């Protein structure tokens, strides 16, 4: 559990492990049922329909962010580790050298193959205006704080994410040090594929 003056962050495994009499899977689903994100239905669908199953299968871990003041759910983020292939050309020599420390270089096409921390989901809860109680910067900061704790325990130095190809989102992530390295089409079942821009950042 991660705590700040304003927010408390719970790993959903603390509910699934059933070690606390006040927590449990039923309580977890009740909390998730009140999560709403009309602006991004993928974010809402993952929270309600996939986050628990992904945690059980070790595919990713979701962290719920509550207001310390009244325990209201204000947002969540999900983290996992995934392999990525990075074209080195857009990056400076300094970044290339850092990537080379934790990757294998494919000299034929000059790409780096590595495992990196992925912020798989990040979203505020719009139910009853809870989204107004946390900024995107604060939510992202909590996700990065968790990743830096993982980095301290296990090493690694690259974090990446995927976002819609929207100028506002791209500007937000680029302003905090992320650089674009590729794009792909989404694969959400039952939904039209759309472009996801992939960005990465070296963790200091």
- Which regions in the chain score pLDDT beneath 50? none
The number of domains in the chain is 1
- Which pLDDT does position 112 carry in this prediction? 92
- Which pLDDT does position 179 carry in this prediction? 94
Question: Which CATH number do you get for residue 63?
Answer: 3.40.630.30
- Cβ neighbours for 139, distance < 8 A, ≥ 6 positions apart: 65, 74, 75, 77, 122, 123, 124
- Which pLDDT does position 152 carry in this prediction? 95
- Which pLDDT does position 41 carry in this prediction? 87
- State which residues form the domain around 40: 2-202
């Amino acid at each position: 559990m991660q705590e700040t003056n304003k927010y408390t962050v719970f790993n959903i495994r603390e509910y699934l492990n059933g070690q606390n009499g006040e927590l449990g899977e039923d309580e977890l689903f009740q909390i998730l049922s009140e999560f709403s994100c009309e602006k991004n239905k993928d974010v809402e669908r993952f929270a309600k329909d996939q986050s628990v199953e992904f945690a059980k299968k070790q595919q990713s871990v979701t962290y719920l962010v509550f207001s310390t003041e009244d325990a209201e759910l204000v947002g969540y983020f999900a983290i996992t580790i995934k392999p990525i292939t990075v074209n080195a050309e857009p990056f400076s020599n300094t970044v290339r050298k850092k990537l080379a420390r934790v990757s294998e270089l494919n000299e034929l096409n000059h790409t780096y193959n590595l495992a990196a921390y992925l912020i798989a989901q990040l979203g505020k809860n719009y139910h009853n205006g809870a989204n107004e109680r946390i900024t995107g910067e604060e939510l992202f900061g909590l996700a990065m704080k968790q990743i830096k704790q993982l980095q301290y325990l296990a090493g690694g130095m690259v974090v990446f994410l995927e976002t819609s190809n929207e100028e506002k989102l791209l500007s937000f992530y680029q302003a905090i040090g992320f650089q674009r390295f590729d794009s792909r089409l989404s694969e959400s079942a039952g939904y039209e594929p759309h472009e996801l821009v992939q960005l990465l950042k070296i963790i200091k």
